[in-house]
Amino acid sequence: MESCKHFDLVNVQQQVRKLSSPQIKVISIKDSIRIGDFYCEKCSVSFPNIWICLHNTCTFRGCGRYQNKHAQQHYSSFKHFVFINPETLLIWCLECDQEIIEVSSIALKSVFESNNTFKKIEMDQKPKDKDIRGVVGLRNLGNTCFMNSSLQCLFNIRAFQRYFLKTINIEELKAQELPEFEVIQTLTELINNVWNEDSPQASPMDFWDAFRKSCPFFKGMAQHDSQEFLRILLDKLHEELKFEYQIGKHRSIVSDIFCSELQNKIICKICGNYTVKDEEFYDLSVSIPTADDIESYKEVSKGVRSPQERFTLYSEKSALWSNIQQIFTENKEVMSIYDCLLNFCLPEELRQKFECLNCGGKMPSRREVKILKPPNTLMLVIKRFKYNKGGMKISTYVQFPMSIDLRFFLSRNSSCQYQLNGMIQHMGGVNGGHYVSYCKNFKNNNWYEYDDLLTRQITEQELLEKEAYILFYQRQISEPREKLRKGQKKAFLPSYWYNLYRTLSDPGTIYTKYLLCSHRMLKPLFSLSQFKEINVAQAEEIKKKFTQDSSIIEKIGDCESCLSSFAKLNTRIELELELIKELNEITPFEGPWYLISTTWLNHWKSFCCHGSSSEKCIPIPIDNSTLFLNNKIKKSLEKGKDYRGVNRHVWEALLKLYKGGPEIKRLEVDIYAEPAPEIICTTPSLTADHMNKLRIIKSTYNND
């Protein structure tokens, strides 16, 4: 909202000047507002969750609607409508319940730029040391600490960071100007700002705006949960970055880093017969077990840890005991993340009976869960929130080691070592609070705390005292991997796989076929930047250790034959779309509607979106058979979802291009209406000019 009648009653310049702290020498009033010592006047809530009244005679400070709503109560009692947040400088009208965008920025700008009364000195935070990359605070944009803490953990996962810095071509993304890639583009720019710039601070505003456009769920000023944000973001990134490496199989940097498989086994208690179901996951959510749960598997728990791990945990327990006692709310014993994993994986008696094929009926059963395929990065979420009966937060301290071995929790018992790489902490209650992250910088191996804009180095001792909510464990690479060098005799590896090889324990199979045409040269739309040049000897060694879907590539370049064919295909698509658009707009409408299965129409639309793939094949003949069952129209078909209608001109053109059927004619776009009678039209479905255009389209490119 640009402005409102309530905002026009406020002297913003005058009120903002009142808010600056004269005792603090800072760069500007803008910075003074942000670092002022602001607390809610009615409770203990402090900056940044404060809203300041801008009424001409008032500077009341109250907490937001996601804390104790004291700003809202002030507005209700005194009819003071306009408030400013000291962290984001966002101005909000509570009466209209909207942000005042353009006017607020103009009004504030004149105050900030005209102020010369404060001496320009350095802020508390020192300029960034060029040798310490990645230690950059993120600006809170208004209840966005959940996002900032999540992004910091992702940015400190080396494979994730390296992919966006080394593999994504930001200039190519900008040139395409495709809205669906805006999240990728802005995220890449943000990672560049964090890792390649000298500023100690960065703003995620562009990314946040792009992300909220694509995910309306995050619009507004509500506080969300870090796990919720991570799940939605990673799912979106996977969808936008995935590629087909084999027919019907997709992968992305997200799935390669986080994706794992769980094995759910339902076991009959009578005969021991079992059924197995595998499922993929990006994060593993584990509950905090009760004292009774722990007692029931104490002996098993001892076997989970090696003697060295037990000694380490005992030492940590002793060192932290004084601090831990103050943190405990329920248990007086130290709970470990191993206890949570045991509680998740050990057999569980099921209340419901399950069908046993061996016994021939529903039998008492138990369930056990194992990790079938361990991920390269294990994201462990400790379930701290319960939402029944109003909700509550479980603040039990859960001890987490710096390294863990998952062998006991795997379907196949073998050593699987992980090192802690990051952690997110939630402070506050179930209905609000603050998120802070702690990450290990892979450049200098030091731990840092990220609290929105504030960053500081911490010790492992300090880290282990924190109340963990989300833990990021990185699977250890069993042997050091050196950079692969060029040689006199060349060989080529996919750049994408090379990034995984350098950063992940399990980089997976070397897939190259998706990049190559049938002539073993580059497919159209791919470039030499997709490959890393190494020497043949190294390529031979790599192939021995990791499977490869083709022979070693020793020569690579553009394929003239495929480029020529692709250019003809693009020309055909342009001509075809132009003709179909022309036919669709013919007026007046004469004749019946012709109904077409959306399954086929979507296939045709995908063919026309040629920019997204170098492997476009002419669609199969029109297939309306999916709308029939036993030669009768299926029941419960929906317009738009299962079928669409086109006019007679479009139908005739598509029929001449693709053939197929069967024909479904109706007087309205309703598949259950009576079939349309023969109608004599005053104009032909296709003119001589249309027929000539169809001949040109078919002759331009035809893969029959």
Written as one string, the DSSP assignment of 239-254 is HHH-EEEETTEEE-HH
**What pLDDT score does 592 carry?**
93
Written as one string, the DSSP assignment of 95-151 is TTTEE--HHHHHHHHHHHHH---S-----SSPPPPTTSTT--EE---SS-HHHHHHH
Phi/psi of residue 238, nearest 5 degrees: -60, -45
Say if residues 36 and 47 touch (Cβ distance below 8 Å).
yes
Q: How many helices (H) and strands (E) does the chain have?
A: 22, 36
- pTM equals 0.69
Both tokens assigned to 116:
């010369």
CATH dotted code for 7-114: 3.30.40.10
Both tokens assigned to 58:
């008032």
CATH architecture of 137-254: Alpha-Beta Complex (3.90)
| Terminal Cα-to-Cα distance of the chain (whole angstroms) | 56
Between strands 398-399 and 403-405, the pairing is unpaired
CA–CA distance from 418 to each of 155, 379, 404, 510, 586 (Å)?
18, 11, 5, 24, 65
Distance, C-alpha 15 to centroid of its chain: 40
- Domains of the chain, by residue range, sit at 7-114, 137-254, 259-475, 560-700
Fold of 560-700: DUSP-like (3.30.2230)
Burial call 589-613: b when 16+ CB within 10 Å, e when fewer: eebbbbbbbbebbeebeebeebeee
pLDDT in tens, 196-220: 877 788 999 999 999 999 888 888 7
pLDDT in tens, 487-544: 778 899 999 999 999 899 999 889 888 889 889 999 888 888 889 899 888 888 888 8
**Ranges of residues in the chain whose predicted pLDDT is under 50:** 20-37, 102-107, 109-128, 130, 306-332, 611-612
Phi/psi of residue 438, nearest 5 degrees: -135, 125
The rounded distance, in Å, linking the Cα atoms of 29 and 14 is 12
**What pLDDT score does 638 carry?**
95
Same CATH topology for 137-254 and 259-475: the answer is yes
Assigned CATH class of 259-475: alpha beta
